[in-house]
Structure 1
Amino acid sequence: MTFIGVSTELEAGMAELSTPVRVYVAAGRFTEPDPDLPELAGRIRTLLAAVAVDEAWRRFLSGYAPPSVPEICAALEPVETHEAAAFLARVAGVDLVWPSHRHLPAATAERAADRVVSLLGPEASWWTNHDAGCGAVNGLTPLFDSLLAGTDGEHFALALQIADD
């Protein structure tokens, strides 16, 4: 598959995981040579900036500026590739504040998440702002947020759920 095909399919898969006002996504192909975690963090920062100017969240994020790339890198924890699809389906489908509420039907979220993880492949690197060891979240916003970011070194996929109680 050409890189244009992968990018297009990644964008389509991530769009299926997006929900208005709650789950924000981004996907594409890096333009930098040899992208690594800082370039992925730069894409995360861009997504955070888009949330901050969204009319639905602007009043909650007044004066907010996304963390710097080094701060985002420091907030990220690795996720095993075999756990990425289930994690992505949860970020997209299950509400952060009210876990009994779903943003997407489970089957829809799982199918789209499986496809995205498959497109990035078994050698992809996955990152989250969750500390699996203690269950804490390294918040990227002053609100509740949950992020999963993946890259195969050429393409990236990001999903961010944001919530306020």
Structure 2
Amino acid sequence: MTSIEVLAELEVSMSELATPMRVYVEAGRFTEPEPDLPELAARIRTLLAAIAADDAWRRFLPGYTPPSVPAICASLEPVETHEAASFLAQVAGVDLVWRSHRHLPAEAAERMAERVVALLGPEASWWTNHDAECGAVNGLTPVFDSLLAGMQGEHFALALQIADD
């Protein structure tokens, strides 16, 4: 599959995981040579800025400015590739506040999440703002949020669920 085909598939698959006003996604191709965590964090920061500008969230985030790239890097924890699809399906499908509420049917979320992970491949790096050891979340916003970000040398995929109780 060519880089352009991977990008197109990645964008379609990620868009299937988005839900209005709750799960925001982005997929793309890096323009920087040899991108690493700071380049991924910059893409996360851009997504956070877009959410803050969204009319649905502006009232919950008055005066909010996304964290700096170094602060985003510091908030991220690695996720093992074999755990990425289930984590992505959870971020996209299960409500952060009301765990019994689903944003997407489980099968659809799992299918698209597995496709995204397969497109980025086994060498991809995955990151979250969750600390798996203690269960804490390093919030990127002043409300509830849950992020999963993946990258491989050329492409990236971001999914962030945001909620306010």
TM-score range, shorter chain: over 0.9
2:76 counterpart letter in structure 1: L
CA positional deviation for 1:153: 1.5
Q: Report the counterpart of residue 9 of structure 1 in structure 2.
A: 9
In structure 1, distance between residues paired with 2:151 and 2:57: 27
Asked whether 1:162 is paired with 2:159, we answer no
Q: Report the counterpart of residue 145 of structure 1 in structure 2.
A: 145
Q: Report the counterpart of residue 123 of structure 2 in structure 1.
A: 123
1:82 counterpart letter in structure 2: H
Task: State the identity as a percent.
Answer: 81
**What is the count of residue pairs matched by the alignment?**
165
Deviations 1:79-123 (A, max 9, x none): 000000000000000000000000000000000000000000001
Asked whether 1:42 is paired with 2:42, we answer yes
Q: Report the counterpart of residue 60 of structure 2 in structure 1.
A: 60
CA positional deviation for 1:40: 0.2
Asked whether 1:85 is paired with 2:85, we answer yes
1:133 counterpart letter in structure 2: E
Q: Report the counterpart of residue 24 of structure 2 in structure 1.
A: 24
Structure 2 length as normaliser, TM-score? 1.00
Deviations 1:11-69 (A, max 9, x none): 00000000000000000100001100000000000000000010000001110000000
Secondary structure of the 1:87 match is helix
In structure 1, distance between residues paired with 2:90 and 2:35: 27
Runs of 4+ in 1 over 6 A off after TM superposition: none
Q: Report the counterpart of residue 105 of structure 2 in structure 1.
A: 105
Q: Report the counterpart of residue 133 of structure 2 in structure 1.
A: 133
1:164 counterpart letter in structure 2: D
In structure 1, distance between residues paired with 2:152 and 2:140: 23
Structure 1 length as normaliser, TM-score? 1.00
Segments of 5+ residues of structure 2 without an aligned counterpart are none
